[in-house]
Amino acid sequence: MSESIFIKHAAQLVTVSGHTENPAKRDGMRELNCIEDGALLATDGKIIAVGTTEGIQTEYKNEINQAKQINASGKVVSPGLIDPHTHLVHAGTRENEYAMRLKGKTYMDIMNQGGGIHATTRATQQADVDQLYQESKQRLDTFLVNGVTTVEAKSGYGLTTEHEIKQLEVSQHLNENHVMDIVSTFMGAHAVPVEEKANPDAFVDRVISEMIPEVAKRKLAQFNDVFCERGVFTPEQSRRILEAGKEFGLIPKIHADEIEPYGGAELAAAVGAVSADHLLKASDEGIRQMADQDVIGVLLPGTAFFLMAEFAQARKMIDQGLAVALSTDANPGSSPTLSLQFIMNLGCLKMGMTPEEVITATTINAAHAIGRANQIGSLEIGKQADITIFDVPNYLTLSYQYGMNHVDTVIKCGQVVVE
């Protein structure tokens, strides 16, 4: 027997419809296509009707009689939030480095002295699969409770073929066993291992000749990401790695222009990346090239907040025609948070985005940034019934009452998973 769910009387049903083909840009980012006294009917995990409560009740009487009913009166119903950039699978925490940074050390100083990404790499290499699985599962549970129904997850704390694969296999198992959908990205080029500092090109060669083919053969990732930053990987090394991934069907993503302007945005446009992420220091020319090539800018204001850096210029980027998505960048060094709602608050308060834009940026544009816009990211007929209900009277309140979890109910593939 088919299983249905009927959500009715939403104060606002935020559909974010109309951007499945192409990411929302400019004014499109502010069109939420909200329905008052909204309702949604889903059967077997798929949305079959969206409209007003009265309209759907009249048209689908029989189906509604058999459906599980959810009264969303006084609440906001939105597409399940999507986090398109996380470092989900890793071992341990780095609060010691946080304390060092509060005394004046920089993120890059700590990394160059063998801490930072290297510290988490040591912990992740030492961790067995079960420990990694359990730690990451807890994070997924927290994401879900905070309204997120799909996350992207990167490797990059293994830095050897064996340990990169271990991380990606943990993501794969979590994707199979947890209600959360996980989209995997290979990020072997997250740092040059400490022991190989003297010859970074040899490491780049190994990423290309050994890791990428093995990851592709095992079908462990859909995307290929590189930390393109002075002192980490140069634009030329990054280009080689991303082009090599393309040969194996891995779609490029880039950690671009996070700490210094370094041509990462330009490189993203040149290699046809689906997204360039961070962009705190991206050049105007780089942003223009990204907009021209339809590369999505994934902005991570939690990282600027936590590293006490300047925020990316989201307002200017959106006005220049860049499609923007938002993400936590969840990781133990530069953004130890699992709250995408807080990131939405920061988007408004620190990057000049509107409350409408931050919703688009965490739903349909985030879906585009992970190649899933035809399945998720909006409440439209035929899409997966991934839905978050917020206990707020209107969507403005989501970014107004900040630092809180407003989630009331989470529905994944038509099933209530948080209530």
Chain residue whose CB lies nearest ligand NIG: 333
**Per CB under 6 A, does 167 bind ligand NIG?**
no
Q: Which residue has the tokens 């890059």?
A: 108
Tell me: is residue 333 an annotated ligand-binding position.
yes
**Per CB under 6 A, does 389 bind ligand NIG?**
no
Tell me how far apart the alpha carbons of residues 192 and 213 are, in angstroms, rounded to a whole number.
Answer: 19
Tell me: is residue 87 an annotated ligand-binding position.
yes
Tell me how far apart the alpha carbons of residues 327 and 344 are, in angstroms, rounded to a whole number.
Answer: 9
Q: Are 254 and 242 in contact (CB under 8 A)?
A: yes
Q: Which of ligand NIG, Fe ion, none has residue 227 at its interface (CB below 5 to 8 Å by kind)? A: ligand NIG
Q: Are 160 and 122 in contact (CB under 8 A)?
A: no
Token pair listed for 156: 């990059």
Q: What residue ranges in 117-207 does DSSP mark as E strands?
A: 148-154, 181-189
| Residue with smaller CB distance to Fe ion, 157 or 395 | 157
Site for ligand NIG in 75-94 (CB under 6 A): 87
AA letter at 317: M
Chain residue whose CB lies nearest Fe ion: 329
Give the number of C-alpha atoms closer than 13 A to the C-alpha of residue 305, restricted to the C-beta side.
20
Report the nearest approach of ligand NIG to the CB of residue 408 (Å).
31
Report the nearest approach of ligand NIG to the CB of residue 22 (Å).
26
> Binding string to Fe ion for residues 310 to 339, with x set by CB under 5 A, is what?
-------------------x----------
Report the nearest approach of ligand NIG to the CB of residue 90 (Å).
7
Helix axes of 284-292 and 264-271: crossing angle, nearest 10 degrees: 20
Token pair listed for 50: 């969206």
| Residue with smaller CB distance to ligand NIG, 133 or 233 | 233
Report the nearest approach of ligand NIG to the CB of residue 12 (Å).
33
Report the nearest approach of Fe ion to the CB of residue 85 (Å).
6
Helix axes of 117-126 and 161-177: crossing angle, nearest 10 degrees: 70
Q: What angle do CA 299, 301, 302 make, to 5 degrees?
A: 125
Report the nearest approach of ligand NIG to the CB of residue 188 (Å).
13
Q: What angle do CA 280, 398, 32 make, to 5 degrees?
A: 80
Q: Kindly determine how many residues on this chain lie close enough to bind ligand NIG according to the rule CB under 6 A.
A: 13
Of the candidate residues 227, 233, 311, 390, the single one contacting ligand NIG (CB under 6 A): 227
Of the candidate residues 53, 86, 185, 303, the single one contacting ligand NIG (CB under 6 A): 303
Backbone angles phi, psi at 13, to 5 degrees: -105, 105
Tell me how far apart the alpha carbons of residues 337 and 225 are, in angstroms, rounded to a whole number.
Answer: 21
Q: Are 78 and 52 in contact (CB under 8 A)?
A: no
Site for ligand NIG in 318-347 (CB under 6 A): 329, 331-334
Report the nearest approach of ligand NIG to the CB of residue 51 (Å).
40
| Residue with smaller CB distance to ligand NIG, 75 or 281 | 281
Cα separation values, 198 from 70, 190, 203, Å: 60, 17, 10
Q: Are 43 and 414 in contact (CB under 8 A)?
A: yes
Q: Which of Fe ion, ligand NIG, none has residue 84 at its interface (CB below 5 to 8 Å by kind)? A: none
Report the nearest approach of ligand NIG to the CB of residue 175 (Å).
21
Tell me: is residue 258 an annotated ligand-binding position.
yes
Q: Are 72 and 393 in contact (CB under 8 A)?
A: no
Tell me: is residue 85 an annotated ligand-binding position.
yes
Q: Are 183 and 150 in contact (CB under 8 A)?
A: yes
Q: Which of Fe ion, ligand NIG, none has residue 116 at its interface (CB below 5 to 8 Å by kind)? A: ligand NIG
Of the candidate residues 29, 39, 67, 117, the single one contacting ligand NIG (CB under 6 A): 117
Binding site for Fe ion (CB under 5 A): 329
Binding site for ligand NIG (CB under 6 A): 87, 116-117, 120, 227, 255, 258, 303, 329, 331-334
Annotation: binding site: 85, 87, 94, 157, 190, 255, 258, 329, 331, 333-334
